[in-house]
Structure 1
Amino acid sequence: MSVATKLSEQELQEQFEARIAAGDKIEVDDWMPEEYRLALIKLISMHGISEIMGALPEKEWVPKAPTLYRKLGIMAKVQDEMGHGQLLLRVAEDLLKPYGKNRGDLMIDLFEGRLKFHNVFHMETKSWGDAGLIGWLVDGSAIISQTNMLGASYGPYARALQRICAEEVFHAQHGEAIIMALAEGTPEQRELVQDALNRWWESLLFFFGPETKDTTGTSKQDVTIKYKIRVLSNEGLRQSFLTKYVPRIQSLGLTVPDQTLHFDEAQQKWIYEQPNWEYFKKIQRNEGPCSQERLTLRRSSYENNAWVREALTALAN
């Protein structure tokens, strides 16, 4: 590579970083460094796949919801999540075009273990209390994570998040309504909620991921923060979750299953028992309680509906 080319690329990088610093939105056809493009692909494709896989735990409760009203509510939520996934995969697909890839390649990456889906969606949903808690606290966690990126420097992602976050607010309200009805119900219903909270608490701490450092001491989240794709670190997001939801959980008379949990005034942060991060890594390897079951279901659906994709491709050509 010539010196002139190196200088040209350096100038492009400097101009790009100046745009980021100025708060400009980067669009799909704009020049961007490969580091930025790859960070976006990894983030948005995992987000999109997680929306699709995240519909599966609640899909199980559509026929088992206690009333027709509740069935309709959770069914609408499942439809929304699938729509979010399709929207995000379109955004990711535009970024993949220089590599000759499309949404279909992302699905293959999922099935072959190269693309991960969010750790919470590997877990079991044993009761109606779990279904409510997913809507209230898991979707609540998603809102905290996603609003952290509403000002993302990549315009198509930021615009997609505007719609997704607005709908996620309704999802969280839907879950909260279920939890409040159970918490204010019979002792058995109340116990259903406490049991769900006990089982899901570790997953809720897992939600935002570890605050990891690599061998150079640099946070793995630095690239997304450097390019203003996100604002807070994983631990910053977790602290926001605890600040928002611990008082709400306690206001319902529920007990957070962590005797060490407290807010340290001196440090101005929550102190909590660390979850088992080795188990987190196991889940990431698709070795969670329902990992293979949900991957099998998604793979079967993808294969059984191949004829639809083929027909649409034929029409497009």
Structure 2
Amino acid sequence: MSLLEFDNLTEEDKLARFIAKIESGEKIEADDWMPDEYRMALIKLISMHGISEIMGALPEKEWVPKAPTLGRKLGIMAKVQDEMGHGQLLLRVTEDLMKPLGKTREDLMEDLLTGRLKFHNVFHMEAPTWGDAGLIGWLVDGAAIMTQTNMLNASYGPYARALQRICAEEVFHAQHGEAIIMALAEGTDEQREMVQDAVNRWWPSLLMFFGPATASTTGSSKQDITIKYKIRTKTNEQLRQDFFSKYVPRILSLGLTVPDPTMSYDKEKDEWTYAQPDWSEFKNIISNNGPKSASRLALRRTAHENNRWVREALSSGEYTG
């Protein structure tokens, strides 16, 4: 069908062709026609993912000068660099989606700094010990891998291709975190206590990581839209159950405890039971009211302003290096 013939189709016919295309496994590209609902769902999802990669580097950045050995320092520096690269890659993908709307990357940063663009709940939290630095790599990145591999075959081609690279690198990040945790768990009583304290501190945030099981909890239907358009395949609760199945046995195998006495595996239902987190607290945290929200946004704001001259020089065409 020619472009002119396609343009003459009704919106209903265009949508029907779009659905048929993604149902057949074809990828949607940046310059393809797409329904507004699909475009906006992608912008919201990928911009949040990209900004979360950038903001997620900040808790570990705090540990670069305090890492206990040179090897650990180099490892966490490399991880921070990777996360920033992931963020830049994803923001570039988002930019292409926003072009028809007349918006740019600068608009994304403005949305972040004014609170309109949210970032992941876990990156609003404190990381006061080296145990927290290890746990972020082990469990937070482990949870992220589950979320991201669920979208490796996303119907939107540019995002699916970006995730191929990101997931490959995230596997190394999780191994890096696991190595830190293993060393501490096999160390002194004080080091083991440090790991247990980190698990206790991060468990509520990890439960919230995948989002609420139903839209009624927060009034959001994002998971329904992303599944409808084959951006992902599993629900929030399915991902959370996968996380429990993989990591609860690993936590227990290290002689650690899960800070939820209600948690158990129901063989008949083939699912884990657990105490629901406080979803009102989740909404409060992602509204930039978490323990480290203000300081991390202030750091991002300072970096954005201090480096404005670089962006202006590049956009003006005067840079010739």
Equivalent position of 1:108 in the other structure: 110
- CA drift of 1:285 comes to 1.1
Could you tell me how far apart the structure 1 residues matched to 2:309 and 2:256 are? 49
Equivalent position of 1:36 in the other structure: 38
Verify: 1:248 aligned to 2:250, yes or no: yes
Equivalent residue letter for 2:62: E
Deviating beyond 6 angstroms after TM superposition, the runs of 4 or more aligned structure 1 residues are: none
Equivalent position of 2:19 in the other structure: 17
Equivalent position of 1:81 in the other structure: 83
**Aligned-pair identity (%):** 74
Equivalent position of 1:268 in the other structure: 270
Q: Secondary structure of the equivalent of 1:263?
A: strand
- CA drift of 1:6 comes to 9.5
- CA drift of 1:9 comes to 1.1
> Per-residue CA shift, 1:187-218, capped at 9, x if unaligned?
10010000000000001001001123349x99
Matches within 5 A, 1:83-162: 83-162=85-164
Equivalent residue letter for 2:188: T
Could you tell me how far apart the structure 1 residues matched to 2:166 and 2:134 are? 19
- CA drift of 1:8 comes to 1.4
Q: Secondary structure of the equivalent of 1:221?
A: helix
- CA drift of 1:104 comes to 0.9
Could you tell me how far apart the structure 2 residues matched to 1:298 and 1:181 are? 32
Equivalent position of 2:261 in the other structure: 259
* Contact 2:124–2:286 (CA under 8 A) maintained in structure 1: no
Match of 1:177 among 154, 176, 179: 179
- 1:316–1:85 CA distance, 2 compared to 1 (3 A): farther
- 1:200–1:22 CA distance, 2 compared to 1 (3 A): same
Equivalent residue letter for 1:171: H
Q: Secondary structure of the equivalent of 2:38?
A: helix
Equivalent position of 1:186 in the other structure: 188
Q: TM-score, normalised by structure 2?
A: 0.95
Mark the runs of 5 or more structure 2 residues left unpaired by the alignment: 1-6
- 1:182–1:243 CA distance, 2 compared to 1 (3 A): same
Could you tell me how far apart the structure 2 residues matched to 1:55 and 1:80 are? 9
Equivalent position of 2:3 in the other structure: none
Moved more, 204-213 or 24-33: 204-213
> Per-residue CA shift, 1:21-78, capped at 9, x if unaligned?
1010000011100000000000000000000000000000000000010000000000
Number of equivalent positions: 313
- CA drift of 1:219 comes to 4.5
* Contact 1:28–1:94 (CA under 8 A) maintained in structure 2: yes
Verify: 1:68 aligned to 2:70, yes or no: yes
Q: CA RMSD in A?
A: 1.7
Equivalent residue letter for 1:143: I
Could you tell me how far apart the structure 2 residues matched to 1:141 and 1:43 are? 16
* Contact 1:214–1:220 (CA under 8 A) maintained in structure 2: no
Equivalent position of 2:312 in the other structure: 310
> Per-residue CA shift, 1:149-187, capped at 9, x if unaligned?
000000000000000000000000000000000000011
